[in-house]
Structure 1
Amino acid sequence: MSDPNITPQVEAQASVPMTLLRCLTGALISGGLGFALYSLMIKIATNFASKPIHSDNLLVVRITSAVRTLVVGVVALGSGIFGIVAIGLLALGVQVLMQQLTKPKSSEN
């Protein structure tokens, strides 16, 4: 009951230096995931298109159409996000490369 207020000690994490290799590796991974999700989206949409809805109930047709649209939309959103991240990491890699090329060399005496 009489425990003193203990504040957690936050350890300062050293920031990892940004390098061209890290940017390109991240862009490659993100681009690969984006392409995989894009391919999955095309397969899902083709599968849904090849199997029409067999029902006379209008509510069933509308709910099925909404669910199909939602599934394809979520996969397309994931694909787009990974694609945008890949483009951003490539641009960051170009920026890091330009900074490395324009940085003056420090001469040691």
Structure 2
Amino acid sequence: MSDPNLIQQPETEKNSATPLRCFTGSMISGGLAIAVYSLLNAIASSFANNPIHSQNQLTIRIASAVRTLVLGVVTLGTGIFAIVALGLFALGVQLLLQQLRQKS
């Protein structure tokens, strides 16, 4: 059990960023941002078309808070995916420019 030959060391493989990987990731993240934005619009219109019907003020406040939290979380997800898409696109452009400068 303590034989050092039996213990395999994991090979550390460095995955370097390439423009193709960055642009592909940017397109995937952008697509997810658009999908989550569509979901956000559907949720918002559903909440707007279905108002809260209750006489209890506590129920109205809790329902309003839950609706606000749901919209906030979905909006946050949309923003994160959009920012990641922009960042990956900018990184891809930067790497592409660096490769072009090194060739010349």
How far did residue 18 of structure 1 move?
A: 1.6
Q: How far apart are the structure 1 equivalents of 2:44 and 2:9?
A: 48
Q: How far apart are the structure 2 equivalents of 1:37 and 1:53?
A: 25
Percent of matched pairs sharing the same residue:
57
Measured against aligned partners, the alpha-carbon deviations of 1:15-41 in whole angstroms (never above 9, x if no partner) come to 112211100000000000011001100
How far did residue 9 of structure 1 move?
A: 6.0
Q: How far apart are the structure 1 equivalents of 2:9 and 2:53?
A: 60
Q: How far apart are the structure 1 equivalents of 2:9 and 2:71?
A: 43
Which residue of structure 2 aligns with residue 51 of structure 1? 50
Q: When the two structures are aligned, how many residues end up with a matched partner? A: 101
Within a 5 Å distance, the mapping from 1:86-97 to structure 2 comes to 86-97=85-96
TM score, norm. by length of structure 1: 0.85
Q: Which runs of 4+ in 1 moved over 6 A?
A: none
Within a 5 Å distance, the mapping from 1:29-44 to structure 2 comes to 29-44=28-43
Q: Counterpart amino acid of 2:39?
A: L
More off after superposition, 16-25 vs 89-98: 16-25
RMSD: 1.7
TM score, norm. by length of structure 2: 0.89
Which one has the bigger helix percentage?
2
The answer for unaligned runs of 5 or more in structure 1 is none
Note if 1:103 corresponds to 2:102: yes
Larger radius of gyration: 1
Q: How far apart are the structure 2 equivalents of 1:11 and 1:52?
A: 57
Helix, strand or coil at the partner of 2:54:
coil
